[in-house]
Amino acid sequence: MTVTLGIDLGGTKVQVVALTNRRVVGESRHPTPQSDAKAVIDEMIAAAREAAGSADVRAIGVGTPGSITPDGHVSKAANVPGFIHDVPLGPSLSQAFGGVPVAVDNDVRAASMGEFHRGAGRPYRDLLGVFVGTGVGGGLILDGKLRRGRGSAGEIGHTVVKDGGRECTCGRRGCLEAYAGRLSIERAAKRKQSDGAKTVLFEIMERKGRDRVTSSVIADALDKGDDLTHSLIDQAVEALGIALGNAQNTLDMEAIIVGGGLGDRLGQPFVRRVADAMQPRLRVPEHAPVVLPTQLGDLSGAVGAAVIAGG
């Protein structure tokens, strides 16, 4: 059997699928090492081999945060250890698998392609994929084609929703990601706690044995009625409503798909709240887009990466 591998690289996990005849025939999920780029690449290789099993690998697709060159080098990925400076990700993976072709693209563009071709986006020609995870990213499909622009099309996470607001990981202030990204939510919770606010968020994190406030930690804190967590998620929903309303007013899309680690974990109720927050911002509310959760869930990025590689 011959497979195409799709790898979704995130700040907390490496998700891999093996596809043949448009079917997932193997998958694996490993934690992202928090040390350096070599450790991350080694973990990606191990996860890819696990997903492929005994099958022959014909091609590999990778969805990754950061700035990507045509030859598969990655940099400026603030949420992946060691990926701030140039990392030869594509060449390293190709060499590890005997020289097979490797296609490297933005992680959220890959996830949007996964949903467009194999998931919730299949009925639509114009859509925006918004993935709320460690950060917030977007992928734009217009007239059935992925829009890359000059490399940063769809980057809704760095649209400004509050001028002079919270500092973002990109160094600017007031970005959507500074309010809705999981890492920014964690940082804001720590600041509030140090100022005296009460929260069970970090107790849950420790009890789960996590060194980060993951999406499941946030979900558990919400279930326990933690006021601070509810307040921070309220702010995330409001920021998403502003950003998506502006995007819809500009692009007049048929659908918006909301996913990512946090979006998938909080599910349909969260997606419905985001849609409700967007509605008052629409210039033509009677032509509101359909706002949907992902259909592929955690596999959106990996399946989309395999699609980009020809799987």
What's the pLDDT band for 189 if we cut at 50, 70, 90?
A: very high
What local confidence, expressed as pLDDT, does residue 60 receive?
98
Share of the chain above pLDDT 70, in %: 100
Please report, for the domain that includes residue 107, its CATH number.
3.30.420.40
162 lies in the same domain as 86: no
Residue 235 has pLDDT above 90, yes or no: yes
62 lies in the same domain as 141: no
State the residue range of the domain holding 289: 123-294
58-67 tens-digit pLDDT? 999 999 988 8
Q: Would you say 278 and 248 are in contact if contact means Cβ atoms under 8 Å apart?
A: yes
How high does pLDDT run on average in the chain?
Answer: 95
Q: Would you say 181 and 134 are in contact if contact means Cβ atoms under 8 Å apart?
A: yes
Task: Name the residue type at position 283.
Answer: R
Report the pLDDT averaged over residues 93-115. 96
DSSP-based helix, strand, coil % in the chain, nearest 5: 45, 25, 35
186 lies in the same domain as 287: yes
Report the pLDDT averaged over residues 227-232. 98
Residue 251 has pLDDT above 80, yes or no: yes
Lowest mean pLDDT among 110-114, 152-156, 160-164: 152-156
> If DSSP codes are grouped into helix, strand and coil, which group holds residue 58?
strand
What local confidence, expressed as pLDDT, does residue 15 receive?
96
87 lies in the same domain as 147: no
Report yes or no on whether pTM surpasses 0.85.
Answer: yes
141 lies in the same domain as 179: yes
What local confidence, expressed as pLDDT, does residue 134 receive?
85
174 within a domain of the structure (yes/no): yes
Lowest mean pLDDT among 90-99, 105-114, 145-154: 145-154
209 lies in the same domain as 276: yes
Q: What is the DSSP letter of 173?
A: B
59 lies in the same domain as 128: no
d(CA 37, CA 18): 23
Q: Would you say 39 and 47 are in contact if contact means Cβ atoms under 8 Å apart?
A: no
What local confidence, expressed as pLDDT, does residue 151 receive?
74
107 lies in the same domain as 127: no
116 within a domain of the structure (yes/no): no
58 lies in the same domain as 135: no
118 within a domain of the structure (yes/no): no
Smallest CA-to-CA distance from 67 within 161, 173, 158 is with 158
Burial class (CB in 10 A: 0-12, 13-18, 19+), 113: buried
160 lies in the same domain as 192: yes
What's the pLDDT band for 44 if we cut at 50, 70, 90?
A: very high
Report the pLDDT averaged over residues 296-310. 95
What's the pLDDT band for 12 if we cut at 50, 70, 90?
A: confident
117 within a domain of the structure (yes/no): no
Q: What's the structural domain count of the chain?
A: 2
173 lies in the same domain as 78: no
241 lies in the same domain as 195: yes
* Bridge partner list, 4: 19, 59
Residue 242 has pLDDT above 80, yes or no: yes
